[in-house]
Chain A
């Protein structure tokens, strides 16, 4: 590939607005083919974090708070990745909070009341059966709502608004409003309590595997594109991108691993392993929490589905132009059913995380969660008009929402004021996004 062709293609991409060249950061980013929107979000998040750190008297950017933040973000992040696809396909799912309660209740009843009678209390298979049943429940409920949307033609807003009421009521009826507890001991690990982590060594392994995957991915993409002689990212950009991503991943692992077990737990841990408890105590890192691993795995899988699989392509095509998708021969209705079923599965995963974390299921679980999930997706750049959205954006959106909340808690902001701030930020974020989108086209 010669330099001339490279120049040709770069200059031919229509970016509109002649002022672009002047702003060197943006032109640099574009040359490196880095998503400026995503970059902007990461920057905004960092500014938010530093701001909170200063205003909370140095308590925000601590391993302890960041570890908690990662665990608290997991459930909403898991659901937000599915909400992206639902919204991209020009639909909405208002029922996720209530579905969370129903599926959580179902899994809790199964492991606290039904399975102990059948296979005995704390049987090793309990958590697997409960989780599998929950995932099936989520898929069926989601798919059922999706089928009403796709085949009956009732707007998704209405179907899932009905679902919001129905499933909340069903969750109550399933246990007559009782609190169902306790959860199976293995199942509890999904919630990422102090035992639900993978430890320092495995955290490093996860970090290194992620690094290798990033590098392999970059190299692979480059090879694929050079096979056909397409323009490639400049080498420096490729190297810088890989290095930056790896540093970020390993840095995150380092921060997480800097958060040690609380003393009582560390003592227990030492005792179980026959270690001597020294006077000054032991510093044993918790490592990455299991729900965080789960959320990261979901984000990767969903990103893969959204960008590398036909299904994802079809969801975007439907969102861009439903008629064109239909004329292109896509089974649009079935695709819609699948997006809602997928949403249901992700809700079930989030329900497992939440009930495991609480070690109980209550019918009020997940109240108002739908709004946080939708807000996370929208702050992450998903357009409610359909057709536009990214998984990474939604995860970042979830992180922004959770950062706002925990930052304000650290600052001692009153609950009503917290809601006001979150609401205002949501509107401002979308306003900024709309502004830039309009300028870009």
Chain B
């Protein structure tokens, strides 16, 4: 499988990315890549640098050094607008919704539809939102109320609807199911599989190792800002990945005694 993929140009390649906050290397010389129709999970403990790494791709935080290639071409991503130009959509852990405005307004935030007279085309935006929601979450009916009156799952739907509507080619999901119940989590998993089948490349950040094994094709493990390694899901067990997360070594490099301490 890896062999097949390497023949193609990766959709995204992040080379030697580094981000420092003061003296702390939040991301230290990390290289990862992502192919179309593939889910790459980014895993690691708290403070491993996963979110910071993908923020450089979504334009939310500048990288100190490193290069990002989209379709093999060097890309310059300085802000969220640039990222969206490249078809990169992000679902943040915090959802990044403006609580005081309604679902259509949030879905189109920063990319509002306008009428001929340059005014906001509320009706067209509501219509588009209804269509996307019809696919994602047919039970969603609150198109006119501020999102702060919606449940966690409904808010999540709004954040996801945004990425679906704008035809993301590259999707970043930061803990997409952290705030969801089991039924909604299953729904998100279903959606990920569907988007993947459509050829979208997905970076998935998750704490849930079961989710990761369920959804990901490859797993990149980070520890203290550095990349421990990237493995194919088929080649490893959950324990081995946990070992990478905690010890910070590839399965082949882990010694017996180190494995002992894990159990």
Contact = CB atoms under 8 A, between A and B. Distances in A.
Interface string A310-351: 100100111111011111111000000000000000000000
Interface stretch (B104-112, B200-208, B210-218, B220-228): B104-112
Nearest to A9: B141
Contacts of B92: 327
B98 A324 contact: yes
A225 interface: yes
A224 B123 CA distance: 7
A38 interface: no
Given A316-B98, A316-B101, A310 B80 contact: no
Interface in B86-122: 90, 92, 94-101, 105-106, 109-112, 114, 118-120, 122
A284 B98 CA distance: 53
A313 B101 contact: yes
B142 A387 contact: no
Interface in B6-46: none
B149 A328 contact: no
Contacts of B148: 441
A388 B100 contact: yes
A313 B80 CA distance: 18
The B interface is mostly helix, strand or loop, or mixed, namely loop
Contacts of A230: 123, 126-127
A321 B119 contact: no
A161 B146 CA distance: 33
Contacts of A441: 148-149
A20 interface: no
Contact of B60 (A13, A318, A327, A330): A327
Interface in A175-198: none
Nearest to A11: B141
A320 B100 contact: yes
A329 B112 contact: no
Given A228-B123, A330-B110, A12 B142 contact: yes
B237 interface: no
A14 interface: yes
A436 B100 CA distance: 16
B137 interface: no
Contacts of A123: none
A424 interface: no
Given A13-B142, A321-B100, 5 more contacts: A228-B127, A310-B120, A324-B97, A326-B80, A327-B92
20 contacts: A9-B141, A13-B144, A16-B149, A227-B123, A228-B126, A309-B119, A310-B114, A313-B109, A316-B101, A317-B98, A320-B98, A320-B101, A320-B146, A325-B110, A327-B80, A328-B80, A328-B110, A329-B81, A329-B111, A330-B110
